[in-house]
Amino acid sequence: MPMFQRPTAIRRKTLRMILGASRDAYPNEFGAILRAEHGVITELLLIPGTVGGRRHAIFQLHQIPPDFTVVGTVHSHPSGVFHPSHEDLRLFSKFGGVHIVTGHPYDESTWGAWDYAGQPVSLDVVA
């Protein structure tokens, strides 16, 4: 079984896809699952049944296929505050190793990443 490696980077095109999906979902929240290869977040998984409302994104985690490249979640905060809420911290503690939260207006300066314990982590944006 592969050992978990917390990502240290995200591809610029993946970050732009996340920000675009967050803008498209506004004023509702957007939510997806993150995949990584060799420590770099490269892809989003859209999980059937994920519901985005004005103050929530509800993930159907039981719908995630067994996949060792899944490393965490991403969701948006239409309020613009891109720090995790108490509900976010509960999810982080139960699933994944890195979680991204984006905030309105969803540009490259309004997002952050956190680990399973809710501690900020740095992700380099790479080509």
For residue 23, pLDDT beyond 80 = yes
Please indicate whether residue 38 or residue 67 has the higher confidence score (pLDDT).
38
HSE, CB side, 13 Å, CA atoms: give it for residue 42: 6
pLDDT at 37: 94
For residue 3, pLDDT beyond 60 = no
Average pLDDT score, the chain: 89
Q: What is the pLDDT of residues 30-47, one digit of tens each?
A: 999 999 999 999 999 887
- The C-alpha atoms of residue 70 and residue 23 are separated, in whole angstroms, by 23
In the DSSP assignment, the letter for residue 80 is S
Q: What is the mean pLDDT of residues 104-113?
A: 97
Residues noted as catalytic: 29
- With CA atoms as reference, report the closest residue to 99 among 80, 85, 112: 112
pLDDT at 4: 63
Give pTM, 2 decimals: 0.88
Question: What is the set of domains in the chain, with CATH numbers?
Answer: 9-50+70-126 (3.40.140.10)
Kindly report which listed range (54-58, 76-80, 108-112) carries the lowest average pLDDT score: 54-58
pLDDT at 68: 82
- With CA atoms as reference, report the closest residue to 49 among 68, 67, 27, 33: 33
